[in-house]
């Protein structure tokens, strides 16, 4: 009788979970990102849309003012010669200008390609050149040491707060009255029109542009705003975002979802534990977006008596990297705040799964259940569906999945098959319909939520004249982060010593963003490879 009751309860919970996610917040058909944003600006005109803490004092922008800034900047871009379908690079930290630049670009018919503000010269040039960007919106301080010459498509560079290199313009020039300028009407359906081209490392090689349409992004916001779900975000919420807006997690869940729903978005340029806790109290923050390292920092603050008791936080969202069950338990025990874990990828705009806050479905160690209209299969190596409870690769389809990779038909075909997206991630699902990530893509590593492709680090190391061969894998450090470690075969004239290790690390640090630098370098005579020449990374991991 007891087993029957448990089985009945499990099936009832699974049906409950499915029943909660059967309806979109709104119909995304035919809707463009900027149109939904501007409609929200009209509806919530007097309300504060953005609080930008990077300004002193913090700059507060109402929805009415935000809508006006977007429309004026869009007209300025059109007047400057930007044409529908052209790419505009946005190379900025979190700030109000990022949001305006992004939505103005799409309103002008252009496609924003968002860029990590810690990128170095070669990474900036690679993305701008690969995307055929005609304009760049950045800041003079960020462009120091960046060579923008010789980029064939680049016509205009705008800087937001500090003057840039010769030939660039302050972006205020875009806001000059241009009422006679007509904004273009969409030439294609929202399903076919690109809304952004973020770059993702994928599983191997250099980053690839992920083609996400307006339909993809709007649908994903509407999928995430589940109507009637316990704890769902609503317009009285104040959301704190220190996660980077250039990343699809910050762009969709931070910027677009918050403004489409009529909430107030509080922006910080980067995570600062003490300052973020002060901001949570000062601004009455009710929801914040986190990654596991920020939750660890908050746990440590709570244990030191520094986590404020007078906060208004209802829950925190954790995503972008696996959340250890013990960390989830510890955070809620120390703060009393529930965690809503999620799962996704750039290719899915990014949300595919979100956890529940309803007490009977609350499982913070799970990534939750699929968002509405997301179908999931779990398959074995022969691509057959596995039995419930067994592990296999997660395969999905839904309205949020990308059109493909930019200029990479082979890479697109490898992951998009017959309308299904093959994630490469190994998962299992429990009796209540909630998913658990067991293992990720074998070659990728994550550091503080940022993806690192071993092949990209290897390609830089191989440029060094003293390196004959190399392979990069990850090791988990004491903080639970995956750090890149390199195995290097030196040329005969090079000496394997700490000085050589330091020089190689600096060589990478000068060319790639800081988190991609190998923290440890091991000098070896040869690398283990397959008959076809592929590096056997599992053998390198054994050496660690």
Q: Answer whether 378's CB lies under 8 Å from 393's CB.
A: yes
Report pLDDT digits (tens) over 474-517. 988 887 788 999 999 998 889 999 999 999 999 999 999 999 99
Q: What is the pLDDT of residue 440?
A: 62
Buried b (16+ CB within 10 A) or exposed e, 210-239: bbbbbbbbbbbbbbbbbeebebbbeeebbb
CA–CA dist 341, 324 (Å, integer): 11
Strand partners, 242: none
Q: Answer whether 104's CB lies under 8 Å from 184's CB.
A: no
Looking up tokens 């871009």, which residue turns up? 77
Strands 111-114, 87-90: pairing is parallel
Strands 445-447, 450-452: pairing is antiparallel
Looking up tokens 């250039």, which residue turns up? 246
CA–CA dist 346, 198 (Å, integer): 8
In the chain, how long is the greatest CA-to-CA distance? 79
Report pLDDT digits (tens) over 121-179. 999 999 999 999 999 999 999 999 999 999 999 999 999 999 999 999 999 999 988 87
CB atoms within 10 A of CB 89: 26
Its pTM stands at 0.84
Percentage of the chain exceeding pLDDT 70: 94
CA–CA dist 112, 131 (Å, integer): 10
Closest CA to 260 of 26, 530, 484, 518: 26
CA–CA dist 420, 399 (Å, integer): 11
Looking up tokens 């900047």, which residue turns up? 73
Q: Answer whether 39's CB lies under 8 Å from 49's CB.
A: no
Residue 81 confidence (pLDDT) above 90: yes
Query: In this structure, what token pair is assigned to residue 238?
Result: 């104040």
- Domains of the chain (ranges plus CATH)? 33-429 (3.40.50.12780), 446-543 (3.30.300.30)
Report pLDDT digits (tens) over 38-53. 999 999 999 999 999 9
Q: What is the pLDDT of residue 82?
A: 97
CA–CA dist 349, 195 (Å, integer): 11
201 burial via Cβ count (<10 Å: 0-12, 13-18, 19+): buried
CA–CA dist 228, 58 (Å, integer): 34
Contacts of 249 (CB under 8 A, 6+ apart): 243, 289, 319, 320, 344, 350, 449
CA–CA dist 219, 402 (Å, integer): 12
Contacts of 284 (CB under 8 A, 6+ apart): 238, 312
Report pLDDT digits (tens) over 443-484. 678 888 787 878 788 878 988 999 988 899 998 888 778 899
Q: Answer whether 137's CB lies under 8 Å from 92's CB.
A: yes
CB atoms within 10 A of CB 393: 18
Q: Answer whether 295's CB lies under 8 Å from 273's CB.
A: no
CA dihedral 141, 142, 144, 147 (to 10 degrees): -150
CA–CA dist 178, 300 (Å, integer): 52
Residue 201 confidence (pLDDT) above 90: no
Report pLDDT digits (tens) over 257-283. 999 999 999 999 999 999 999 999 999
């Amino acid at each position: 009788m007891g087993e029957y009751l448990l089985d009945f309860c499990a099936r009832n919970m699974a049906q409950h979970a499915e029943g909660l996610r059967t309806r979109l917040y709104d119909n995304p058909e035919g809707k463009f990102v900027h149109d939904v944003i501007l409609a929200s600006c009209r509806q919530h005109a007097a309300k504060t849309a953005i609080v930008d803490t990077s300004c002193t004092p913090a700059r507060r922008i109402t929805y009415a003012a935000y809508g006006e800034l977007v429309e004026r900047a869009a007209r300025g871009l059109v007047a400057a010669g930007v044409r529908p379908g052209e790419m505009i690079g946005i190379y900025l930290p979190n700030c109000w200008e990022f949001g305006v630049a992004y939505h103005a670009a799409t309103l002008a018919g252009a496609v924003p390609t968002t860029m990590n503000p810690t990128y170095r010269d070669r990474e900036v040039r690679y993305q701008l050149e690969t995307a055929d960007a005609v304009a760049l919106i950045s800041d003079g301080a960020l462009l120091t040491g960046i060579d923008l010459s010789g980029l064939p498509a680049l016509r205009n560079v705008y800087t937001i707060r500090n003057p840039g290199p010769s030939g660039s313009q302050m972006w205020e020039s875009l806001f000059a009255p241009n009422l006679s300028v007509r904004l273009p009407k969409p030439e294609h359906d929202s399903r076919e029109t690109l809304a952004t081209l973020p770059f993702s490392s994928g599983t191997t090689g250099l980053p690839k542009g992920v083609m996400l349409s307006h339909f993809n992004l709007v649908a994903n916001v509407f999928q995430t705003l589940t109507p009637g779900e316990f704890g769902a975000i609503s317009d009285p919420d104040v959301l704190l975002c220190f996660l980077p807006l250039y990343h699809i997690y910050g762009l969709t869940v931070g910027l677009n979802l918050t403004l489409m729903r009529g909430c107030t978005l509080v922006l910080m340029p980067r995570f600062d534990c003490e300052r973020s806790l002060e901001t949570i109290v000062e601004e009455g923050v009710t929801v914040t977006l986190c990654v596991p390292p920020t939750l660890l920092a908050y746990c440590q603050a709570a244990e030191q008596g520094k986590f404020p008791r007078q906060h208004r936080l209802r829950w925190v969202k954790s995503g972008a990297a696996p959340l250890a069950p013990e960390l989830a338990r510890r955070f809620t025990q120390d703060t009393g705040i529930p965690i809503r874990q999620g799962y996704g990828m750039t290719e899915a705009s990014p949300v595919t799964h979100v956890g529940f806050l309803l007490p009977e479905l609350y499982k913070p160690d799970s990534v939750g259940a699929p968002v509405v209209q997301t179908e999931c299969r779990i398959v074995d190596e022969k691509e057959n569906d596995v039995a419930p409870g067994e592990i296999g690769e997660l395969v999905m389809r839904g309205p949020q999945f990308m059109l493909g990779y930019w200029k990479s038909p082979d890479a697109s075909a490898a992951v998009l098959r017959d309308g299904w997206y093959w994630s490469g991630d190994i998962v299992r699902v429990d009796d209540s319909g909630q998913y658990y990530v067991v293992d990720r893509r074998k070659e990728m590593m994550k550091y503080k939520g940022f993806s690192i492709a071993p092949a990209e680090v290897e390609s830089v190391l191989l440029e060094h004249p003293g390196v004959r061969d190399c392979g990069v894998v990850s090791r988990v450090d004491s903080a639970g982060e995956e750090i890149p470690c390199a195995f290097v075969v030196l040329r005969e004239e090079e000496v394997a010593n700490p000085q050589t290790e330091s020089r190689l690390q600096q060589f990478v640090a000068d060319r790639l963003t800081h988190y991609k630098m190998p923290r440890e370098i091991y000098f070896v005579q040869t690398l283990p490879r397959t008959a076809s020449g592929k590096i056997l990374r599992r053998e390198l991991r054994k050496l660690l």
